[in-house]
């Protein structure tokens, strides 16, 4: 093989519509007979959980296998009780026949009813009095009432659940036939990847994708095998793919960061048949689908979110076909949720998986789109679910209802506290302390900007809004906006902290930036915060006060949504400076030029303020632990008013 990699156009990189791509892939796999169901095997009942039956399973015996008492009571012949009434009771002697029995006791021949203890009145003559007749077989379980011998207990193509195992055990089944579990080979490519558990050197990355895929494969009932990482070279990677095809029913390959899926596409062309390269599905547009050695191959992009999206869209359906009708995409846990803020596409023309954080606000399930690119693994960890946006949709307004594929149990969503608005690093400390004090609670924050946070709380789409809205006329924060706002219900404004807003600059401040007035310099590249955020409003006001025209600030229209995003842009040397807070600068070992003091408050509906779970957040904010630890971690913040109610709306 040549050691060159063909360019993506030569390899036929296209953007097939995702549904069309899947249909074509499955059709080609059928043609290649690459979707064969596994052979069956006979396994002990104790090992059958989550396995899929390859034949129907019949009862080996009746259940119950004898006539038995259904309750505790007196065993009788029903004919002896037919005349019993309250006016003319029947008196029966307690004999070896008419005996008291417990539930499950055998009912001997000749006896056909069990009288409840509550219907009996004992006498001092060793007899009992009955005032109510009993029909034949009253409170008696006949043999085979639950299931009869040779009756089908579990059908073919059924995924065994815990209750199924109990029913089969009661029916005398010891072993059953199930399909063998498909073997899935997981191969990562990368010259600088090291397996999980290794200590990476500078320039090396841990292969986290393989373990993610392994877990997803196991959840579906297949057996994963993580192969040794192969370098991004045609000969070595090709040999690894050949070996994978020999031992597995499905090959999942994660492209390396250097050549991406271009190398995979070339290899599939050389070793088998490439079905397509490229789908209109963000963030896995460069996906490769093919067949090697009669085995399906799915080549996934390197970034974690793309790996997850590619598995859900293509690997899951293939495994479902192999495992049979017991699994279906329709069985995935889903929920209807309302978007708290608008979702705007960065580009259209392809479908997109959108990660969301979720929580119940009153009786409405609310979803907040997650900020983060395809390489941000933590955006999946923090996400409650995913929803899919069609290729022709450019924007979804707030209050749009979306169908969410759940990633966390729905019951946990009732313990999620949603805070929308201004971003601040102290939320990380709050999140940690909340988990320590209230393990069942989770604090979800979303950097939407203070104004959108205010709009969301007014619309009943979050539990609290983090705001630092600056009023240009009074020079005050937040209160002037609230006094003039048409709030739908009584609310409380509680202080969280005060902080310095300034310019994040490179280490050592090599360009000698001293303050906002320097933004007019022609040698500076600037990055801004988004319109509507409190930082942006405050910055715009101070620039006007300085008489500085934003059009003369290089990069002023370029926007990001968080302080950390500003710091990341400066750290990567894409820009020279941007507005942010000192903690974001320190996190990435950058320098900070303080410019403006600002106050950050939480706006909370009064009815939530003392009601769980929001009350848990309030308690943590007011705790001595937060007030002692926060200044240690955020030394240039002011926590003197933390937890104080600064304003209440009229009742």
Query: Cis before residue 283, ω within 30 degrees of 0?
Result: yes
Assigned CATH class of 409-423+432-443+460-651: alpha beta
For domain 13-37+181-329, the CATH superfamily is MoaB/Mog-like domain (3.40.980.10)
Domain boundaries, the chain: 13-37+181-329, 40-63+145-179, 68-141, 334-406, 409-423+432-443+460-651
Assigned CATH class of 40-63+145-179: alpha beta
Query: CATH fold of 334-406, please?
Result: Beta-clip (2.40.340)
Query: Are the CB atoms for 500 and 568 separated by under 8 Å?
Result: no
**Residue % of the chain over a pLDDT of 90:** 66
Flag whether pLDDT at 12 surpasses 60: no
DSSP string, 452-493: HHHHHHHTT--SEEEE-PBPTTT--BSHHHHHTS--SS-EEE
Residues 6+ apart with CB under 8 A from 69: 75, 101, 102, 103, 104, 105, 106, 107, 114, 139, 140, 141
CATH architecture of 68-141: Beta Complex (2.170)
Cα separation, 321 vs 12, whole angstroms: 27
Cα separation, 437 vs 430, whole angstroms: 10
Task: Look up the pTM and report it.
Answer: 0.72
Each residue's pLDDT tens digit, 332-348? 788 999 999 888 876 66
Query: Are the CB atoms for 576 and 524 separated by under 8 Å?
Result: yes
Cα separation, 31 vs 26, whole angstroms: 9
Cα separation, 21 vs 15, whole angstroms: 9
| Nearest Cα to Cα of residue 470 among 557, 425, 423, 532 | 532
Each residue's pLDDT tens digit, 214-269? 999 998 889 999 999 999 999 999 999 999 999 999 999 999 887 889 999 999 99
Each residue's pLDDT tens digit, 546-593? 999 988 899 999 999 888 899 999 999 999 999 998 988 988 999 999
Three-state SS letters, 617-648: HHHHHCCHHHHHHHHHHCCCCECCCCCCEEEE
Task: Give residue 330's pLDDT.
Answer: 55
Distance, CA of 76 to chain centre = 59
Q: Which of 70-74, 292-296, 330-334, 335-339 is the least confident region?
A: 330-334
């Amino acid at each position: 093989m040549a050691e060159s990699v063909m360019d993506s156009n030569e390899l036929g990189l296209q953007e097939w519509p995702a549904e069309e791509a899947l249909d074509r892939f499955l059709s080609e796999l059928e043609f290649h007979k690459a979707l064969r169901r596994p052979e069956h095997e006979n396994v002990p009942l104790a090992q059958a959980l989550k396995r899929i039956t390859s034949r129907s399973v019949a009862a080996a015996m009746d259940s119950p296998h004898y006539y038995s008492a259904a309750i505790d009571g007196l065993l009788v012949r029903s004919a002896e009780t037919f005349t019993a009434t309250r006016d003319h009771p029947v008196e029966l002697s307690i004999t070896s026949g008419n005996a008291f029995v417990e539930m499950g006791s055998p009912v001997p021949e000749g006896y056909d009813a069990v009288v409840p203890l509550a219907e009996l009145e004992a006498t001092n003559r060793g007899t009992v009095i009955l005032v109510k007749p009993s029909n034949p077989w009253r409170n008696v379980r006949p043999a085979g009432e639950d299931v009869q011998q040779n009756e089908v207990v579990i059908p073919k193509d059924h995924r065994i659940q815990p209750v199924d195992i109990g029913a089969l055990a009661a029916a005398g089944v010891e072993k059953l036939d199930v399909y063998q579990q498909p073997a899935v080979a997981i191969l990562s490519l990368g010259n600088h990847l090291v397996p999980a558990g290794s200590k990476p050197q500078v320039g090396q990355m841990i292969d986290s994708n393989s373990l993610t895929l392994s877990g997803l494969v196991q959840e579906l009932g297949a057996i994963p095998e993580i192969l040794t990482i192969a370098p991004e070279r045609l000969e070595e990677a090709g040999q690894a793919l050949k070996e994978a095809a020999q031992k597995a029913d499905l090959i999942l390959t994660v492209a390396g960061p250097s050549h991406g899926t271009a190398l995979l596409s070339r290899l599939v062309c050389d070793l088998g048949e490439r079905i397509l390269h490229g789908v209109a599905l963000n963030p896995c547009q460069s996906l490769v689908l093919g067949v090697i050695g009669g085995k399906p191959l799915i080549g996934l992009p390197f970034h974690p979110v793309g790996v997850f999206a590619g598995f859900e869209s293509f690997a899951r359906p293939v495994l479902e076909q192999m495992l049979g009708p017991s699994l279906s995409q329709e069985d995935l846990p889903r929920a209807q949720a309302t978007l708290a803020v608008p979702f705007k596409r960065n580009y259209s023309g392809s479908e997109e998986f959108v990660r969301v954080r979720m929580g119940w606000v009153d009786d409405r399930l609310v979803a907040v789109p997650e900020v983060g690119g395809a390489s941000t693994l933590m955006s999946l960890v923090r996400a409650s679910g995913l929803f899919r946006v069609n290729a022709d949709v450019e924007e979804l307004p707030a209050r749009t209802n979306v169908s969410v594929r759940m990633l966390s149990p729905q019951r946990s969503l009732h313990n999620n506290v949603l805070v929308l608005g201004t971003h601040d690093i102290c939320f990380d400390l709050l999140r940690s302390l909340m988990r320590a004090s209230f393990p069942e609670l989770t604090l979800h924050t979303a950097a939407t900007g203070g104004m959108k946070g205010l709009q969301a709380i007014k619309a009943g789409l979050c539990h609290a809004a983090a705001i630092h809205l600056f009023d240009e006329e009074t020079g005050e924060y937040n209160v002037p906006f609230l006094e003039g706002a048409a709030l739908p219900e009584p609310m409380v404004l509680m202080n969280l902290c005060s902080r310095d807003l300034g310019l994040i600059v490179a280490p050592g401040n090599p360009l000698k930036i001293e303050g906002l007035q320097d933004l007019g310099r022609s040698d500076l590249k600037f990055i801004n915060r988004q319109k509507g955020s409190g930082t942006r409003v405050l910055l715009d006001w101070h620039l006007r006060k300085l008489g500085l025209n934003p059009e003369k600030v290089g990069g002023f229209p370029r926007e990001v949504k968080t302080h950390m995003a500003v710091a990341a842009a400066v750290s990567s040397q894409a820009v020279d400076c941007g507005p942010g807070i000192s903690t974001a600068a320190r996190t990435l070992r950058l320098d900070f030029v303080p410019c403006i003091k600002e106050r950050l408050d939480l706006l909370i509906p009064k009815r939530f303020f003392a009601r769980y779970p929001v009350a848990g957040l309030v308690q943590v904010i007011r705790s001595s632990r937060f007030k002692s630890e926060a200044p240690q971690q955020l030394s240039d913040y002011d926590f003197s008013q933390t937890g104080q109610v600064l304003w209440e709306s009229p009742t």
